Amino acid sequence: MVLRIGHRGAMGYAPENTLLSFRKTLELRCDMIEFDVRLCRSGELIVFHDDTLERTTNGAGQVSEQTLEFLRTLDAGCGEKIPLFQEALEVIAGKARVDVELKGPGTALQTASLIDRFLTQGGWSRGHFLVSSFDCQELSAFRRLDPYTPVGILCENIPVGFFGMARSLGAYSLNISYNGVTPELVDHIHREGMKVLVWTVDSPDGIARAKGMGVDGIISNFPDRV
């Protein structure tokens, strides 16, 4: 069975990386919800993709230069506010798995700490979490803090040294662009003991092709189509 993974929630139906989007993903009964976390100036871990505010809010400037107090005044779409990582986990409440993408340096520490807190509180298991990033240094920092939570390596195409890095991290998955995946690569990754998650696939033809290649999960803006 192919995992149905909502991209930044269900951003085909609701503003990306918002609590509204996460609630929609739960309504669609998705297996996993993918979202991004980064640090703001006052040190909190927020759910936000871009390094600037213009595309998804009515604000402007670098996210890293803004305090949480200011960020909370912005409209992230449909009147939604930029959520904290912990607020996203509170809304999802273990009803779906999560793929947490680390955006930028310093995100590993708070991510590891919050995962540990929610595991202690109950309602979540280690298997609910996947921590992914294009930044293998940040993934390595996370792995040193948390030896057990699954991690995924994000990439457009397989980079030089990928398999050595994957083995050193004990990677659970390769999270690769749909444009970079082939049946041969899927077979190779499976032989290495990892899963293959592809992003971002919305068209019926693309979804059918990805399934035909034997991928393990499809990240989509319209996850109900998977």
Helix (H) or strand (E) holding 101: strand 97-102
Pairing type for strands 217-220 and 45-47 reads unpaired
Give the Cα separation of 103 and 171 in Å (integer).
18
Tell me, what DSSP letter sits at residue 83? P
Contact yes or no for 47/83 (Cβ under 8 A): yes
Which residue intervals of the chain are DSSP H helices? 19-27, 68-71, 85-92, 107-121, 136-145, 162-169, 183-191, 204-212
Catalytic residue among 49, 128, 188, 190: 49
**Could you identify the residue written with the tokens 């398999």?**
163
How many Cβ atoms are within 10 Å of 100's Cβ, its own excluded? 28
For residue 168, give every residue at least 6 positions away whose Cβ sits within 8 Å of its Cβ, in sequence order, or none: 140
Active site residue 7: yes
Q: Work out whether the CA dihedral 67, 73, 78, 84 comes out positive or negative.
A: positive
Contact yes or no for 91/63 (Cβ under 8 A): no
Active site residue 190: no
Catalytic residue among 7, 128, 188, 190: 7
Q: Which residues are annotated as catalytic?
A: 7, 49
